[in-house]
Amino acid sequence: MKDGRRSAWTLAAFAAPSLPLAAFGLPLVITLPNFYSQTLGLSVGMVGAAFLFVRLVDIAFDPIFGTVLDRTRWPWGRFKPWFAIGVPVLLLAVAMLFMAKPGVGPLYLWFWLAVVYAGYSITVLSHTAWAATLSADYHQRSRVYAFWQSGNVIGMILVLTLPVLLSKLKVTHNITEGVQAQGWFIILLLPLMVALALWRVDEPRKIEYAGATRATLKDYFNLLRRPTVVRLLTADLLMGMGPGIAGTLFFFYFERIKGFDRTTASALLLFYFVVAIGGAVLWSWLAKRYGKAKVLIVSCLTYAVVQFAVVTLPVADPANVLRSFLIALPFVAAAGLPYSAAPVLLRSMMADYADEERLLTGQDRTGLLYAILTGTVKIGSALAVASLIVLGALGFHAAEPAASTTGGILGLQVLYAFAPGIIGILAAWTMLRYPLTEARHAEIRRQLADRDAAEAPVIPEDIAVLSPHVASSPAE
């Protein structure tokens, strides 16, 4: 591992679990709310309330679990064991949510959402915190998260392609069977990909010193007062909420407003994520040349302009579906390009700040920092799903299109096109004059290296007892 650079094969193995995790995360925002309201018959407002309330309650889980991560000192790492523990919890809840039959009630949805969010929190938080340990280099961290985000996007593409492909092959015949196929895809793929990552990728040991303290909830709230952390969290919240709103309302907008059928709309969404893969590489490359904060600002503004422009997309022509599809492609491609910028750059920037925090306090708080970041993702997605509550209040009906009021239809257009665009502009504003530049991070790493050389590291007692011969992970 020269200059913090991991091989492409190692990073691909690390990113492999992102495929099934994203294959679950996308339906959680787009497919499942639509499925439970439109197919299983629960009211759109109730479904929105369930996803919002459970998501908000789940946020309280993150600081607690973040302290557990930073207190864990097992011989094989802090993050890898928890990553493995979360998998069976997630698999069980996925089976119950995706295989639901007509007649299930609100309590069924609420309970299994609570379980699935717990499992999802454990796996995603452990995975992203583990990524922060794979390199200490400013630019290589962007590369690590570019692989991670590419895995996410590929997983989304696969889970979107699956129902369309199976429908064309006459394997599935309705929306319910398509949703179940997505569930089976996750259940079968997740254990295999997690096993590959655990086997192929090490977790480097963090240096600790005498006097280092274990993480507490007080540390969590102290981090929330750090100006740099506040900037990163605000940007992450906004850039999760904007695309989250657009994703939640995507099928409603393109079917009800623009007149596309479900198959064509799914193909457009698929193309959106194909472009997002290239975006992950592009934004990482641009950040190396111009800096992470500047590039993030450009991506946010690009996203805002595209969302405003989508209202100019012509209504689909039923007599020429292919032509309508081709006209829509540039709009979808332009929206997909900035999609990966925030996940890649903000997580890389949080890893940079973890170094600054260790320099300032002598404490490694990587787990807590990513618990905070995961919390903002949840708040953003919860607020995004809350757009369904607003739509229901405005008179939009998912199961009965003819019953939707004029206010409901207008509200759908405003929420899909204009709300995310405004949010994108606000996200760009939060990153102006961001202080933790490449030069500043290089100085932090230099000071850390000097201190690491001057102070004798200690092996925590629990590791020493469990495995007295544990050493730093071998260089690759």
Quote the pTM value. Answer: 0.74
Residue with tokens 């609420």: 110
Residue 463 has pLDDT above 50, yes or no: no
Residue 213: pLDDT band by 50, 70, 90 thresholds? low
- Across 234-238, 384-388, 466-470, least confident range: 466-470
Residue 455: pLDDT band by 50, 70, 90 thresholds? low
Closest by Cα among 434, 431, 93, 423 to 241: 423
Residue with tokens 């544990």: 470
More confident residue, 283 or 51: 283
Residue 310 has pLDDT above 60, yes or no: yes
Residue 274: pLDDT band by 50, 70, 90 thresholds? confident
Residue 370 CA to residue 351 CA, distance in Å, equals: 9
pLDDT for 215:
63
Burial (CB count within 10 angstroms: exposed 0-12, middle 13-18, buried 19+), residue 83: buried
* C-beta separation of 218 from 203 below 8 A: no
User: Which residues are within 8 A (CB) of 323 and not within 5 positions of it... i.e. 6 or more apart?
Assistant: 317
* C-beta separation of 270 from 470 below 8 A: no
Domain ranges of the chain: 2-204+223-448
Q: What is the pLDDT of residues 311-339, one digit of tens each?
A: 899 999 988 988 999 999 999 999 999 98
Over its C-alpha atoms, the chain yields an Rg (Å, rounded) of 22
Q: What is the pLDDT of residues 112-147, one digit of tens each?
A: 998 988 898 889 888 988 888 888 888 888 888 889
pLDDT for 251:
86
Burial (CB count within 10 angstroms: exposed 0-12, middle 13-18, buried 19+), residue 9: exposed
More confident residue, 173 or 311: 311
Closest by Cα among 2, 26, 8 to 343: 26
Q: What is the mean pLDDT of residues 367-375?
A: 80
Q: Please give the full DSSP string across 137-190, using - where no structure is assigned.
A: -HHHHHHHHHHHHHHHHHHHHHHHHHHHHHHHTTS--SHHHHHHHHHHHHHHHH
Q: What is the pLDDT of residues 62-103, one digit of tens each?
A: 777 877 877 777 777 788 889 999 999 999 999 999 998 888
Task: Tell me the sheet residues that pair with 459.
Answer: none
Residue 211 has pLDDT above 70, yes or no: no
* C-beta separation of 63 from 370 below 8 A: no
Topology of the domain comprising 2-204+223-448: Growth Hormone; Chain: A; (1.20.1250)
pLDDT for 307:
93
Task: Tell me the sheet residues that pair with 77.
Answer: 74
Three-state SS string across 38-78, please?
HHCCCCHHHHHHHHHHHHHHHHCHHHHHHHHHHHCCECCEC
Q: In the Cβ-directed half-sphere of 311, how many Cα atoms lie within 13 Å?
A: 15
